[in-house]
Chains A and B, each alone.
Chain A
Amino acid sequence: MHVIVNGERTEIAATDLNGLLGELDYENTHVVIAVNYHVVPRARWGETELSSGDEIEIVTPRQGG
């Protein structure tokens, strides 16, 4: 199915967030995720099923003012 990851349409085989992170080679331990503007706590990544068209934001700390 296709989902939107950080604004880009992405074709994935994974069906949950943990699967998505593995498939897209995310190793970063300091990331947090929102799906369709709802924050998904790390403990629930494995049980969070994805649906076609979901908007997923994967973000990390960065410089800011």
Chain B
Amino acid sequence: MRSRSSRRDREAELVAFYGKEFASRLLIGTAGYPSPAIMQDAVRASGAEIVTVSLRRESAGGRMGNAFWSLIWELGVTVLPNTAGCRSVREAVTTAQLARELFDTPWIKLEVIGDEETLQPEVVGLVEAAAILVKDGFEVFAYCTEDLTVALRLRDAGCRVIMPWAAPIGSARGVLNRDALKLLRARMPDATLVVDAGLGAPSHAADALELGYDAVLLNTAIAKASDPVGMARAFRLAVEAGRLAYESGLMGPRDFASPSTPVVGTPFWHAVS
């Protein structure tokens, strides 16, 4: 259990990713918004200080990249490039190296996808790619399943940020395997743990923070809302609430009722002799 000192006595705890500290525990993606302007407004409303971006082929004569670069630059946020869509170690490693060249950052959200239907991480290749990239100087944010041994291997490979899914990407189902996520948190107290993917509602994000996760990363739940800017703000509040709840110490569940109103002095109460 973390510090129990009163929230009023101190500022909110910062979250650190590879030694860089941030106030916001919400990382958001930049894809799928109704317009570039709404994307920017949603990022601002979310309070996120880190956004994810991808690398895609540029067509001859195209200037898509320049336009997108300007949008992100205007936000003044920290960029976390991803290797989304990569299906092999070689693709992921080269994409990470391209991202480093383009964005001038050692950070990479490492995805190696192993299944088209579920977009489930291919964890064997993931660990292999992570080891290669760490040796090459990268600071890897590893997108993985909730499997404990995979997370431990990633840690052993040098990953200090581990990002298990809550549910498949874009599924909006929230935390499916609560016990496994709790186990990860308990067994990896020093890792920065981020729930990435599968969150559909602000309550799902609060759930992850209440479990002691350091942050959440999401995209679709905000981008595809009727009002992405409103939803971004809702997620911001939920993440703050979830973290504050965790820091304040949640009560544990119990099997039976426990009266909240004091029993002593109840009118018409008679002790059984």
Q: Contacts A28-B66, A32-B102, A37-B90; is A65 near B59 (CB within 8 Å)?
A: no
User: B30–A63 contact, CB under 8 A?
Assistant: yes
Total interface residues in chain A, CB < 8 Å: 28
Q: Contacts A30-B65, A65-B220; is A39 near B101 (CB within 8 Å)?
A: yes
Confirm or deny: B118 has a beta carbon within 8 angstroms of a beta carbon on chain A: no
How many A-B residue contacts, CB cutoff 8 Å? 115
Binding-face segment, B50-58, B126-134, B179-187: B50-58
User: A30–B102 contact, CB under 8 A?
Assistant: yes
- Chain A: minimal CB distance from B61 (Å): 4
Mask, B79-91, CB within 8 Å of A = 1, is 0011010000010
Confirm or deny: B94 has a beta carbon within 8 angstroms of a beta carbon on chain A: yes
User: B65–A26 contact, CB under 8 A?
Assistant: no
Q: Contacts A30-B69, A37-B90; is A60 near B101 (CB within 8 Å)?
A: no
User: A24–B60 contact, CB under 8 A?
Assistant: yes
| Alpha-carbon gap, A4 to B196, bound state (A) | 35
List B contacts of A25 (CB < 8 A): 60-61
If over half of B's interface residues share one DSSP class (helix, strand or loop), that class is named, otherwise mixed; here it is: mixed
User: B32–A32 contact, CB under 8 A?
Assistant: no
User: B54–A62 contact, CB under 8 A?
Assistant: yes
Confirm or deny: A47 has a beta carbon within 8 angstroms of a beta carbon on chain B: no
Q: Which residue of B lies closest to A41 (CB)?
A: B101
Total interface residues in chain B, CB < 8 Å: 38
List A contacts of B228 (CB < 8 A): none
User: B31–A65 contact, CB under 8 A?
Assistant: yes
| Alpha-carbon gap, A16 to B103, bound state (A) | 24
* CB-CB contacts below 8 Å: A1-56 with B: 5-7, 24-34, 37-39, 41-42
| Alpha-carbon gap, A63 to B61, bound state (A) | 19
| Alpha-carbon gap, A10 to B218, bound state (A) | 38
List A contacts of B90 (CB < 8 A): 37
Q: Contacts A27-B63, A29-B66; is A62 near B101 (CB within 8 Å)?
A: no
Closest 9 A/B residue pairs (Cβ): A60-B65, A64-B54, A65-B29, A65-B219, A63-B31, A60-B58, A62-B56, A6-B57, A24-B60
